[in-house]
Amino acid sequence: MDITLVIIGLLLCFVGIIGSFLPVLPGPFTSWLGLLLLHFTETIQKDWSFLGITLGIAILVWILDYVVPALGTKRFGGTKYGIIGSSLGLLVGIVFMGPLGIIIGPFAGAFVGELINDNTDSSKALKAAFGSFIGFLAGTFLKFIVSIAFLFLFVKEVYNHWGVFF
């Protein structure tokens, strides 16, 4: 049973890393679920402080993921249209352009979103799209770093108990 929990936990950590780039999946929280499963094994001692701190980090990053793009957009004069456009642009970009869509999609989506707003001209929309894009990249980078750190902690724990598992 322990091996099954370790494998599922590792998969959750990898899905969390993928979720750092996709707004549909909560990246760090999914990686945290992998850490939680690891602590449900009989081999790893349950460390509730560790799990509480890492859960707190995952929740903080989840909240910041909504705040940072909004701050970037507002800082550059954007509106909620730019924020929504950035998220939709990411999804459309990934579907139609693959990994390159992660970069082009949010920017193009924010630009189109700002153009849909009646009070926005193209130069203001471009500036707001840039702000939204910068905010999106900052949030994505933060989620990615936390998910990678959770994967590292997972692998470190499994490595420390390798002989017991296998």
Q: pLDDT per residue over 49-108, tens digit each? A: 999 999 999 999 988 887 777 777 778 877 888 878 877 887 888 889 887 887 788 888
* Full-model pTM: 0.79
CA distance 93 to 109: 9
Cβ contacts of 60-63, under 8 Å, gap ≥ 24: 61/28, 61/142, 61/143, 61/146, 62/26, 62/28, 62/29
Q: Would you say residue 147 has pLDDT above 90?
A: yes
More confident call, 75 vs 39: 39
CA distance 149 to 124: 38
